[in-house]
């Protein structure tokens, strides 16, 4: 393989000097990228995959990072022996890179046209005019509408997807031999993700580039990679052709990764997770047969239960200020006449792209945002206009779990304080000890340990924090919980664990959920009924088991087709 | 954009009214009934009444307040108690020496500080960065008075390189009077300026777009001078522009020590001779300056940052 | 693993920073000197003649004597008392005003915000030195007027910072979560938001402290500060005339005394910001 390899990484080790001592981020990693092929590097956050790519680019922050051993051959030359000058002439020219965050990766004060021209002027010695024309051409190549006009735009005037296209145009401007894409679609909506992936594939063929595609989601890579390298805790645990990986993965971690993404249609009752395949120390486990049994949702629908929540023609609008004195000149309807009924013990999934109004809808139902008109009837009582004490009492019954596990916990409070706060507010429990015991009971239910109670949020991982948020929402024993993109910020492997937890808790406490997400795959797995939102309205609503088979709206179908199938380029065989 | 400027201009009105109110109340309380002071012990009741009439003290408080507001626009501040001159004329006379000192000193110190902070940012974390940071902090920790006294004593008195004090308006001669206070000004401003500029520049250096620029293969110097500086300039412009009004008043101590007949010295003389109308005039003048340049810096900020849009 | 709050983490980081510890040590010494001088335990006989007039520094008289034969060292200690008390008084006045106004404006927005913004814009438009001078003139020359004048000028910056930070935190999900579990405005503002912006108060106070000391020196130099008591400012004022006669020790003494405490506060301020500001983590 290595004879026609464009990039060949051999025994690479990267260490970081931190305040806690030496940290080995990459341990003896070796892989090759054959000429013209795409290699996918998969692993959860912190597994060392991004550090590897930065090492190839020569962009590691020195002197904190050091490379005690290893070689990186690019076109037969060891990049680690290059000086800064040589690396610079390579970067953006022969090797280029796209980053995860298109929002912050572009310079906010320069026009995108200038930013694309820059590399051309440095590496190809083009004049300002020539470089600009080339930039416009490239923007057309990456599918940005009206490239002549768009080149004059500033980054903030473009959508996330367009910005990522600009980043891609910038990366391919000098026709690199190797393109490194570091989670290029993670920050994007699924539909945009699909477009960007297709674009990258098209460009790769056109420019005959090799590509190194880094992601935490094996499903994404299936459509695009020839070879896959799986990284786990700084090590490469498995590498092989993509088909082989998808069809007969060897390492238990890879198996876990493959199994944890919910598929459309049939899934096991609880999603399989990495820990089903592997012990903490990395040894393989036998997965119990009942865990893999695929389950058909239709059987268990709770048709007979009473209606818990009814939404009738709900509208939530925000004023648009304008004029000299900032008067309200118009209204923006974030939620525009939404109606639905939700039965006790069921889960309603709301799916749509960012900006479709799904989050505002959730907050309006909880009266965290004031709805403008329409009715919210909860348990037979109109709560659209209740206030003060009544609303406070309602908070005991209705709860919410937010998206961002990093900002939704007060960083200055211990877990015990966070969990006991709802009890304090509503004077539940006779005294502090009793409240503490209640909190401890719940923290164990969500899969954490009781000795975590005295710790602070920053000492926990994203998945653990989300468990804490779930525990806080359940402290008051609510009947109804809104999960607002509650798993979107998590790695797929963690996502599966949290989804399982939500299902377990639903069964134990008889909860009713509204589950909001941009990922139809996830919604389809957890929800009994799915509502598709677009521009403030629910445009289609159906049983989860039916919507993926016979979607009526084009928009729903486009959402469905955007879900990564977890199928490789060459084979169409579905997983498991 | 025009709408934003108009809105900002209109916002000046309540601020100006507020500033006038503060100044009015303060000086009303400070000066009390000045007639006794002005006319001496032997003044007759008639004289005092006349003077009160003349100073507008018989008007209602409301009208007196309006006079303060009006003077912010007309620059008609009445007459000085000690020199009996028209205050607006005194200000015009004092402006030239003040600006002779403050403008060159301000321009040089700002440019110098920016250069130093760019060098420091380039070598961040290295020896030279540490050295300049320590130097800045140490420099800032010495009292302005100590600098003035020592420099004047050492360079002007002991070494005789500069004039000890005084002022001459004509061109080549002005330098020998202005140079030393200007140097002191620069020494005083470099510490805080470099510290601020360095923080702003380093804030930008760790942003994602800088990593993108590196990934493009740009040289580090280009990244610093093009990408980073352009973004850092946004807060820097605001910081610099907002200081401009203090050029009128800022050299209070320097002018006093070096006997430069500028506005700062004038204000201190007024303080020493309890010449409240002059102090009041300077307070109004510099407040109006702050308001105008505050507006200007806001507008420049929005012009420099394409992310801010107006509808 | 031992569990640490962000505060404990910050103090742990501070305790590893030797420079910051030295700075803290100097600040503590100055406070002790100020308290002991205030209680009359040291330097209470500063006004007594201890030797001939204008004696140069020697082992007997560490910083020499002034024109009346009084010990410059004892005067410096009295000056320390004045300077530190001014810093404390300015903080005691400025912190409640700045924090309360800033927090209310940032949290409630609307007309409250309009009013507070107007108030601090207005105050910051009048040059500080003018406010300082006129307030001391109104209240009569003396240390009390300096306290009030500095308090009245130093709340503005804190208020602006707190307002901005509260506005940012108000939108964070943890505050919304507090609302969702039934917490009211009071709980959201005081239990959740304020503890998260508290570091700003500490950092700003350590910065404002030096501004207060510098301002006191200038006001005293102008003859508006303490009366009948030595202060670093009046000592520098004395030195103005003495310097030509080669009497440099009053200036040197006051400058060194000021230099040490300002340096300490500068270093401490920087270290506090590095340790407490979550934004700078990991840099």
DSSP A69-126: EEEEEETTEEGGG--HHHHHHHBTTTEEEE-S-HHHHS-TTS-HHHHHHHHHHHHS--
Band (C274; pLDDT cuts 50, 70, 90)? confident
CB-nearest partner of C137 from B30, B140, B294? B30
For chain A, the residues whose C-beta falls within 8 A of a C-beta of chain C are 366, 368, 392, 395-396, 399-400, 402-404, 407-412, 414, 421-422, 425-426, 454-456, 458-459, 469, 472-473, 475-476
CA distance C145 to A22: 56
A91 and B10: CB-CB below 8 Å?
no
A236-245 pLDDT per residue, tens: 999 999 888 8
Question: Greater confidence, A182 or A287?
Answer: A182
Where are the strands (E) in A267-423, listed by range?
A: 267-268, 294-295, 307-322, 327-343, 347-351, 373-378, 381-382, 398-401
C86-110 pLDDT per residue, tens: 999 999 999 999 999 999 999 998 8
B142 and C258: CB-CB below 8 Å?
yes
Q: Mutual orientation of helices B61-74 and B2-31 as an angle, nearest 10°?
A: 130
C3 and A472: CB-CB below 8 Å?
no
Chain A residue nearest residue B219, CA to CA: A88
Range B81-104 average pLDDT: 86
The alpha-carbon radius of gyration of chain B (Å, integer) is 24
Neighbours of chain A (3+ CB pairs under 8 A): B, C
Other beta carbons less than 10 A from residue A300's beta carbon:
10
pLDDT at A571 over 50: no
What is the DSSP code (8-state) at residue A4? G
β-sheet bridge partners, residue A351: A517, A532
Highest mean pLDDT out of A462-466, B117-121, C48-52 = B117-121
Query: What pLDDT shows up at residue A8?
Result: 93
Instruction: Select from C262, C228, C237, C253 the least CA-distant residue to C83.
Output: C262
Instruction: Select from B108, B124, B111, B110 the least CA-distant residue to B224.
Output: B124
Interface test with C, best of B31, B141, B277, B290 (most C CBs within 10 A): B141
Range C113-126 average pLDDT: 90
CA distance B121 to B225: 11
C4 and A407: CB-CB below 8 Å?
no
A198-231 pLDDT per residue, tens: 999 999 999 999 999 999 888 888 878 999 999 9
- Give residues with Cβ within 8 angstroms of C108, minimum separation 6: none
C-beta separation of A164 from A155 below 8 A = no
Write the CA distances from A233 to A39, A48, A283, B308, C261, integer angstroms.
19, 7, 14, 43, 49
C173 and A395: CB-CB below 8 Å?
no
B257-309 pLDDT per residue, tens: 888 888 888 888 888 888 888 888 888 888 888 888 888 888 888 888 887 76
Instruction: Select from B188, B202, B281 the least CA-distant residue to B243.
Output: B188
C130 and B140: CB-CB below 8 Å?
no
Write the CA distances from C106 to B114, C35, C97, C125, integer angstroms.
33, 37, 14, 21
Query: What pLDDT shows up at residue A574?
Result: 39
C259 and B141: CB-CB below 8 Å?
yes
Range B134-154 average pLDDT: 87
At residue A409, φ and ψ (nearest 5 deg) are -115, 135
B45-66 pLDDT per residue, tens: 777 788 777 777 777 888 888 8
Where are the strands (E) in A387-528, listed by range?
A: 398-401, 480-484, 512-517
Query: What pLDDT shows up at residue C46?
Result: 76
CA distance B250 to B252: 5
What is the DSSP code (8-state) at residue B206? T
Query: What pLDDT shows up at residue A439?
Result: 92
A363-413 pLDDT per residue, tens: 999 998 889 999 999 988 898 888 888 888 888 899 999 888 888 899 888
With left for phi above 0 and alpha for psi between -120 and 50, is residue C6 left, alpha or beta? alpha
CB-nearest partner of C134 from B26, B153, B252? B26
Query: What pLDDT shows up at residue C278?
Result: 57
Chain B residue nearest residue C117, CA to CA: B15
Share the mean pLDDT of chain A.
Answer: 86
Chain C residue nearest residue B257, CA to CA: C240
Instruction: Select from A514, A405, A554, A384 the least CA-distant residue to A466.
Output: A405
Band (A135; pLDDT cuts 50, 70, 90)? very high
Range A454-467 average pLDDT: 86
A313-355 pLDDT per residue, tens: 999 988 887 766 667 778 888 899 899 999 888 999 999 888 8
Structure-block tokens of residue C126: 């009048």
> A125 exposed, middle or buried (CB, 10 Å; 0-12, 13-18, 19+)?
exposed
Nearest-Cα distance to chain A for B278, in Å, is 37
Query: What pLDDT shows up at residue A29?
Result: 93
Nearest-Cα distance to chain A for C282, in Å, is 9
CA distance C107 to C185: 9
Query: What pLDDT shows up at residue A515?
Result: 94
Tell me if chain A has a CB within 8 Å of the CB of C142. no
Domain ranges, ordered by start, for chain C:
40-258
> C257 exposed, middle or buried (CB, 10 Å; 0-12, 13-18, 19+)?
buried
CB-nearest partner of C173 from A408, A454, A458? A408
Structure-block tokens of residue A530: 């799915």
Contacts of C118 in chain B (CB under 8 A): 14-15, 18
Band (B36; pLDDT cuts 50, 70, 90)? low
CB contact burial A157-170 (16+ within 10 A = b; e otherwise) = ebebbbbbbbbbbb
Query: What pLDDT shows up at residue C4?
Result: 64
Share the mean pLDDT of chain B.
Answer: 85
Segment 163-192 of chain C within 8 Å of chain A by CB: 172-174, 176-183, 187, 191-192
pLDDT at C279 over 80: no
Query: What pLDDT shows up at residue A361?
Result: 93
CB-nearest partner of B287 from C127, C259, C283? C127
C-beta separation of A455 from A490 below 8 A = no
Highest mean pLDDT out of B215-229, B232-246, C65-79 = B215-229
Tell me if chain A has a CB within 8 Å of the CB of C196. yes
C243 and B153: CB-CB below 8 Å?
yes
A421 and C178: CB-CB below 8 Å?
yes
Q: Which contiguous run of DSSP H or E holds residue A9?
A: strand A5-18
Tell me if chain A has a CB within 8 Å of the CB of B10. yes
A422 and C181: CB-CB below 8 Å?
yes
Contacts of C232 in chain B (CB under 8 A): 143
CA distance B53 to B46: 11
Highest mean pLDDT out of A156-165, A294-303, B71-80, C268-277 = A156-165
Question: Greater confidence, A132 or C149?
Answer: A132
A52-93 pLDDT per residue, tens: 999 999 988 877 888 999 999 999 899 999 998 999 999 999
Write the CA distances from A318 to A229, A315, A376, C167, integer angstroms.
48, 10, 19, 19
CA distance A350 to A529: 9
Nearest-Cα distance to chain C for B254, in Å, is 12
Can you tell me which residue has the tokens 């249609």?
A: A265
Cα dihedral across residues B31, B35, B36, B39: positive or negative: positive
Contacts of B306 in chain A (CB under 8 A): 108-109, 154, 156
- Three-class SS state of A21: strand
Interface test with B, best of C20, C121, C264 (most B CBs within 10 A): C121
Neighbours of chain B (3+ CB pairs under 8 A): A, C
Structure-block tokens of residue B222: 């280009």
Asked if this assembly's ipTM is beyond 0.90, the reply is: no
Tell me if chain A has a CB within 8 Å of the CB of C278. yes
With left for phi above 0 and alpha for psi between -120 and 50, is residue B228 left, alpha or beta? alpha
Query: What pLDDT shows up at residue A573?
Result: 37
CA distance A130 to A123: 13
Query: What pLDDT shows up at residue A298?
Result: 53
A107 and B213: CB-CB below 8 Å?
yes
C-beta separation of B193 from B109 below 8 A = yes
- Three-class SS state of A229: strand
Question: Greater confidence, A326 or B126?
Answer: B126
A402 and C177: CB-CB below 8 Å?
yes
CB contact burial A67-89 (16+ within 10 A = b; e otherwise) = beebebbbeeeebbebeeeebbe
Write the CA distances from A442 to A473, A505, A509, integer angstroms.
10, 10, 12
Share the mean pLDDT of chain C.
Answer: 84
B249 and C258: CB-CB below 8 Å?
no
Record the pTM. 0.84
β-sheet bridge partners, residue A13: A69
CATH assignment of C40-258? 1.10.3720.10
Band (A295; pLDDT cuts 50, 70, 90)? low
Write the CA distances from B237 to A21, A496, B152, C127, integer angstroms.
41, 50, 32, 20
Write the CA distances from A19 to A64, A65, C283, integer angstroms.
10, 13, 12
CB-nearest partner of B307 from A89, A92, A108? A108
Instruction: Select from A272, A268, A312 the least CA-distant residue to A294.
Output: A268
Chain C residue nearest residue B142, CA to CA: C259
Structure-block tokens of residue A236: 């490469």
A136-155 pLDDT per residue, tens: 999 998 989 899 999 999 99
Interface test with B, best of A105, A116, A157, A328 (most B CBs within 10 A): A105
Chain C residue nearest residue A404, CA to CA: C173
Query: What pLDDT shows up at residue A568?
Result: 44
Write the CA distances from A304 to A307, A346, A481, A506, integer angstroms.
9, 11, 20, 17
Range C170-187 average pLDDT: 89
Query: What pLDDT shows up at residue A275?
Result: 80
β-sheet bridge partners, residue B24: none
Band (B311; pLDDT cuts 50, 70, 90)? very low
CA distance C116 to A229: 58
Contacts of C255 in chain B (CB under 8 A): 142-143, 146
Q: Mutual orientation of helices C249-276 and C194-221 as an angle, nearest 10°?
A: 170
Segment 86-125 of chain C within 8 Å of chain B by CB: 118-119, 121-125
A459 and C1: CB-CB below 8 Å?
yes
């Amino acid at each position: 393989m290595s004879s026609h390899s464009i990039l060949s990484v051999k025994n690479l080790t990267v260490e970081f000097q931190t305040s806690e001592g030496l940290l080995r981020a990459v341990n003896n990693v070796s892989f090759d990228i054959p000429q013209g092929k795409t290699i996918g590097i998969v692993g959860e956050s912190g597994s060392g995959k991004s550090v590897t790519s930065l090492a190839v680019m020569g962009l590691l922050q020195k002197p904190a990072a050091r490379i005690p051993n290893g070689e990186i051959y690019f076109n037969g030359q060891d990049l680690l022996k290059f000086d800064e000058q040589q690396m610079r002439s390579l970067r953006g020219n022969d090797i280029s890179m796209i980053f995860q965050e298109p929002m912050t990766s572009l310079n906010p004060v320069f026009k995108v046209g200038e930013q694309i021209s820059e590399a051309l002027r440095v590496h190809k010695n083009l004049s300002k005019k020539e470089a600009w024309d080339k930039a416009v051409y490239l923007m057309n190549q990456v599918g940005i509408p009206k490239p002549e006009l768009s080149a004059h735009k500033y980054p903030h005037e473009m959508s996330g997807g367009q910005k990522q296209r600009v980043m891609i145009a910038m990366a391919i401007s000098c026709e690199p031999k190797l393109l490194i894409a570091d989670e290029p679609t993670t920050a994007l909506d699924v539909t945009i993700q699909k477009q960007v992936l297709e674009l990258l594939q098209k460009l790769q063929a056109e420019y005959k580039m090799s590509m190194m595609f880094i992601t935490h989601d094996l499903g994404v890579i299936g459509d695009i990679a020839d070879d896959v390298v799986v990284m786990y805790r700084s090590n490469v645990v498995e590498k092989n052709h993509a088909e082989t990986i998808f069809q007969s993965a060897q390492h238990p971690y890879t198996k876990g990764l493959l199994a944890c993404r919910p598929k459309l249609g049939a899934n096991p009752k609880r999603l399989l997770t990495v820990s089903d395949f592997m012990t903490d120390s990395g040894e393989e486990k036998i997965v119990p047969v009942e865990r893999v049994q695929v389950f058909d949702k239709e059987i268990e629908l709770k048709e007979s239960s009473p209606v818990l929540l009814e939404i009738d023609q709900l509208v939530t609008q925000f004023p648009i200020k304008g004029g000299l004195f900032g008067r309200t000149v118009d209204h923006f309807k974030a939620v525009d006449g939404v109606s639905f009924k939700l039965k006790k013990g069921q889960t309603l999934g709301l799916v749509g792209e960012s900006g479709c109004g799904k989050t505002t809808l959730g907050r309006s139902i909880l009266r965290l945002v004031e709805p403008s008109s329409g009715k919210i009837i909860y348990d037979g009582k109109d709560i659209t206009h209740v206030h003060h004490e009544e609303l406070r009492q309602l908070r005991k019954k209705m709860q919410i779990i937010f998206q961002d596990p990093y900002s939704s916990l007060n960083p200055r409070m211990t877990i015990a304080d966070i969990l006991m706060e709802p009890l304090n507010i509503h004077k539940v429990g006779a005294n502090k000890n009793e409240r503490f015991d209640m909190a401890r009971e719940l923290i164990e239910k969500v899969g954490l340990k009781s000795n975590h109670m005295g710790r602070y949020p920053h000492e926990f991982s994203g998945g653990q924090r989300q468990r804490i948020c779930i525990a806080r929402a359940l402290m008051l024993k609510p009947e109804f919980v809104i999960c607002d993109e509650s798993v979107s910020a998590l790695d797929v492997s963690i996502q599966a664990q949290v989804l399982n937890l939500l299902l377990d808790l639903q069964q134990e406490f008889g909860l009713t959920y509204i589950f909001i997400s941009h990922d139809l795959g996830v919604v389809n797995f957890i929800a009994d009924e799915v509502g598709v939102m677009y521009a403030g309205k629910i445009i289609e609503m159906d049983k989860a088991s039916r919507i993926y088979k016979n979607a009526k709206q084009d928009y729903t179908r486009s959402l469905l087709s955007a879900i990564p199938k977890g199928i490789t380029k060459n084979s169409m065989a579905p997983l498991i | 954009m025009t709408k934003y400027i108009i809105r900002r201009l209109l916002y000046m009105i309540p601020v100006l009214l507020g500033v006038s109110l503060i100044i009015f109340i303060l000086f009303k309380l400070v000066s009390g009934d000045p007639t006794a002071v002005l006319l001496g012990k032997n003044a007759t009741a008639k004289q005092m009444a006349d003077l009160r009439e003349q100073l507008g003290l018989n008007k209602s408080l409301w009208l007196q307040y309006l006079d303060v507001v009006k003077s912010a626009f007309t620059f008609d501040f009445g007459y000085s108690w000690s020199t009996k001159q028209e205050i607006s004329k005194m200000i015009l006379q004092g402006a030239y020496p003040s600006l002779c000192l403050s403008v060159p000193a301000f321009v040089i110190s700002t440019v110098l500080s920016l250069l130093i902070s760019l060098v420091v940012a380039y070598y961040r974390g290295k020896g030279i960065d540490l050295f300049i940071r320590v130097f800045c902090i140490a420099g800032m920790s010495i009292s302005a008075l100590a600098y003035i006294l020592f420099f004047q004593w050492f360079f002007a008195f002991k070494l005789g390189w500069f004039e000890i004090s005084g002022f001459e308006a004509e061109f080549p001669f002005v330098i020998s009077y202005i140079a030393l206070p200007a140097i002191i000004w620069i020494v005083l401003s470099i510490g805080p300026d470099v510290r601020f500029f360095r923080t702003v520049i380093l804030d930008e250096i760790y942003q994602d777009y800088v990593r993108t620029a590196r990934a493009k293969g740009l040289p580090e110097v280009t990244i610093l001078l093009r990408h980073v500086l352009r973004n850092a300039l946004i807060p820097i412009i605001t910081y610099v522009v907002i200081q401009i009004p203090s050029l009128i008043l800022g050299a209070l101590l320097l002018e006093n020590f070096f006997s430069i007949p500028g506005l700062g010295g004038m204000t201190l003389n007024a303080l020493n001779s309890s010449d409240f109308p002059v102090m009041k005039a300077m307070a109004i003048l510099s407040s109006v300056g702050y308001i105008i340049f505050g507006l200007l810096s806001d507008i420049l900020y929005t012009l420099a940052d394409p992310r801010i849009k107006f509808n | 693993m031992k569990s640490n709050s962000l505060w404990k983490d910050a103090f742990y980081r501070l305790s590893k920073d030797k420079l910051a510890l030295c700075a803290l040590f100097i600040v503590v010494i100055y406070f002790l000197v100020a308290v002991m001088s205030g209680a009359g335990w040291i330097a209470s006989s500063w006004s007594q003649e201890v030797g001939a007039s204008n004696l140069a520094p020697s082992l007997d008289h560490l910083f020499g004597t002034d024109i009346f034969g009084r010990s410059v060292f004892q005067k410096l200690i009295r000056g320390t008392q004045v300077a530190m008390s001014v810093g404390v008084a300015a903080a005691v006045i400025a912190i409640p005003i700045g924090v309360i106004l800033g927090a209310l404006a940032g949290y409630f927005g609307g007309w409250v915000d309009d009013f507070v913004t107007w108030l601090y814009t207005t105050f910051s438009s009048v040059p500080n030195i003018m406010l300082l001078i006129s307030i001391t003139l109104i209240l009569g020359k003396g240390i009390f007027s300096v306290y009030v004048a500095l308090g009245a000028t130093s709340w503005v910056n804190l208020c602006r910072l707190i307002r901005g930070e509260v506005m940012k935190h108000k939108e964070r999900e943890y505050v919304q979560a507090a609302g969702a579990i039934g917490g009211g405005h009071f709980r959201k503002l005081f239990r959740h938001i304020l503890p998260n912006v508290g570091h700003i108060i500490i950092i700003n106070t350590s910065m404002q402290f030096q501004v207060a000391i510098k301002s006191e020196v200038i006001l005293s130099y102008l003859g508006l500060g303490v009366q009948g008591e030595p202060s670093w400012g009046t000592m520098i004022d004395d030195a103005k005339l003495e310097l030509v006669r080669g009497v440099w020790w009053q200036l040197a003494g006051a400058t060194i005394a000021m230099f040490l405490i300002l340096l300490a506060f500068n270093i401490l301020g920087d270290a506090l910001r590095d340790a407490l500001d979550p934004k700078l983590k990991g840099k």
